[in-house]
């Protein structure tokens, strides 16, 4: 035990990733039936990540194996590199994530902002010779007086970041074309997401809506749903200029709730990412609805599979049962999301006015 703790202290990342990989491989080895079982679950399996259903869409096969895990990994990887002010790798990781499932592209503005923020901090630290080597960014950055002239131009940085992203994306398309026989992978990957051809029930909000939709309005509302998701990207960046990490995490939450083939995996990834905003937990749990939200999540986690079974297999329920529970699920996630928004704003405010800490808000 002693040794284990020591190893963990020395090499925390290695231990963590080794453990995760070991669990993943062990689960597959010990329970060979597990993949089959999981692909049957509506909450987990969607046309975008499922091997079984990808047979119709030829090229998804190649991608689906990597898409689900890699999208999350790449989003996290990109965030982590943005935190280290490595613009190129961050943009490349976003490109990779977006290449496999399109909607991570919406993370580009917040991640760019995060990156820019860290670059500014780094250049500020470099400017302050009194500090030590500045390898590890200090979190009390707000108090540091910054020489504005030494900072990189935001416009210039943004253009460079976007250019990197575009180059990375172009490279990825070229690379994909190299390993695949034709360009047909582009429509088969992106049109699946844009046109939503498969309306198999899942944990998201789209399928029921588009089952009911009149054909003439289908393409319009597909656009509305995508634009709706997209419309949060820039406002989050504007509002959370001073906490870009919050903008990234909140945008991930928006995507997890509103993406076309939503599944429990995406929600889980987002919930894990919430830990990045650990400093806000106190605020949310004090003032907001963390308990109801968690309870609702558990409630829908239990009832969702039950209603799905009742509808699809037992035939004693109908689509509305399951859709209602997916609405509850999304509602719970949205409550968590709004709570986090509140907490982030409050945190910002309290940093400005320490005297207001712990006081109730009141509308005037």
Partner 1 sequence: METSSADGGGTPGLEGTRPRPSGNATLTPPPEPSSALFTRRSIVLSFWAIVLCLGLPHWLWTTSTYRATLPLSTMNDWAEGKACDLRFPFPIHLRVPGWTLGEEEELAGKLRVLLHGGKGGDGLGGMFDFPVHVVDSNDAYPLQADMDEALKVVLHVNEAPNAHEHTSSLEPWEPTVHLSYGLSRAGGRDGLPPWVAAQIRELFKPQQEALAYLLNGTPFAATKHEGMRAMMSRESEAKLDARSTRAFKPSTTYHLSFSLFVSGNEPSAWAIEDALGVYVKPLIDALSGIANFTVTTQVQLRASFSPSIAGPTYDEASGEWKLRKEGLSGFVNAAEWPLSPSVGEGSTINFVLYVPAQGQSPLVIAETGGTGWLVPQWGSVAILNPNPRSSQPQSPTATALTTLTAADLEPVMLTFAEQLTSLIGLPSSPTGSLALRLAALQRERTASLLLSSSSTLGALSRLVHKLPNIPIPDTVATSVSTSLQHLELACQDLRTGRYSKTAGDLGALGHAQAANEASEKAFFEPSMVGQVYFPDEHKVAVYVPLLGPMGVPLVLAGVKELLGWYRGRGKVKGA
Q: 42 vs 255, which CB is nearer to partner 1?
A: 255
Q: How far apart are CA 349 and CA 60, in angstroms?
A: 46
Residues 165 and 108: their CA atoms lie apart, in Å, by: 9
Site string for partner 1, 207-246 (x = CB under 8 A): --x----xxxx-xxx-xx--xx-xxx-xxx-xx-x-----
> Binding to partner 1 by residue 10, rule CB under 8 A?
no
* Closer of 70 and 340 to partner 1 (Cβ): 340
Residue nearer to partner 1 on the CB measure, 92 or 225: 225
The site for partner 1, by CB under 8 A, has a size of: 36
Task: Determine the Cα–Cα distance for residues 249 and 273; give it in Å rounded to an integer.
Answer: 7
Residue 324 binding partner 1, by CB under 8 A: no
187: Cβ–Cβ under 8 A, 6 or more apart, which residues? none
348 binds partner 1 (CB under 8 A): yes
12 lies in the binding site for partner 1 (CB under 8 A):
no
Closest to partner 1 by CB, 31 or 349: 349
Least distance from C-beta 3 to partner 1, angstroms? 48
CA 230 to CA 106: how far, in whole Å?
6
Binding flag, residue 61, partner 1 (CB under 8 A):
no
What tokens were used for 143? 């108090």
- Answer whether 190's CB lies under 8 Å from 101's CB: no
Nearer to partner 1, 125 or 259 (CB): 259
**Binding of residue 362 to partner 1 (CB under 8 A):** yes
C-alpha triplet 257, 259, 262: angle, nearest 5°:
70
DSSP annotation of 17 reads H
Residue reference for tokens 């029930």: 201
| Distance of closest approach, residue 54 Cβ to partner 1, in angstroms | 28
């Amino acid at each position: 035990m002693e040794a284990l703790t020591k190893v963990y202290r020395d090499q925390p990342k290695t231990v963590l990733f080794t453990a995760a990989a070991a669990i993943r491989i062990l689960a597959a080895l010990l329970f060979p039936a597990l993949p089959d079982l999981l692909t049957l679950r509506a909450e987990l399996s969607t046309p975008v990540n499922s091997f079984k259903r990808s047979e119709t869409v030829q090229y998804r096969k190649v991608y689906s194996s990597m898409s689900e895990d890699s999208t999350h990994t790449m989003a996290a990887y990109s965030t982590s590199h943005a935190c280290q002010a490595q613009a190129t790798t961050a943009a490349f990781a976003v490109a990779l994530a977006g290449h496999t499932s399109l909607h991570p592209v919406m993370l580009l503005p917040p991640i760019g902002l995060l990156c820019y923020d860290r670059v500014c901090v780094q250049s500020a630290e470099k400017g302050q010779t009194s500090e030590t080597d500045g390898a590890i960014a200090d979190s009390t950055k707000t108090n540091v007086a910054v020489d504005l002239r030494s900072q990189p131009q935001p416009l210039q940085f943004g253009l460079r970041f976007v250019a990197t992203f575009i180059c990375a994306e172009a490279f990825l398309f070229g690379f994909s074309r190299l390993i695949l026989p034709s360009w047909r992978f582009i429509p088969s990957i992106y049109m699946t997401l844009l046109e939503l051809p498969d309306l198999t029930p899942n944990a998201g909000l789209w399928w029921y809506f588009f089952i009911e939709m009149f054909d003439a309005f289908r393409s319009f509302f597909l656009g509305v749903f995508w634009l709706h998701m997209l419309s949060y990207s820039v406002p989050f960046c504007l509002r959370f200029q001073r906490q870009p990490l919050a903008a990234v995490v909140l945008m991930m939450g928006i995507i997890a709730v509103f993406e076309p083939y939503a599944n429990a995996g995406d929600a889980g990834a987002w919930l894990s990412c919430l830990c990045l905003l650990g400093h806000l937990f106190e605020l949310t749990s004090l003032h907001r609805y963390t308990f109801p939200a968690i309870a609702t999540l558990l409630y829908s986690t239990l009832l969702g599979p039950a209603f799905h079974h009742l509808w699809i297999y037992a035939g004693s329920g109908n689509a509305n049962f399951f859709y209602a529970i997916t609405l509850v699920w999304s509602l719970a996630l949205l409550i968590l999301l709004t709570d986090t928004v509140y907490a982030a704003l409050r945190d910002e405010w309290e940093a400005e006015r320490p005297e207001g800490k712990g006081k109730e808000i009141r509308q005037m």
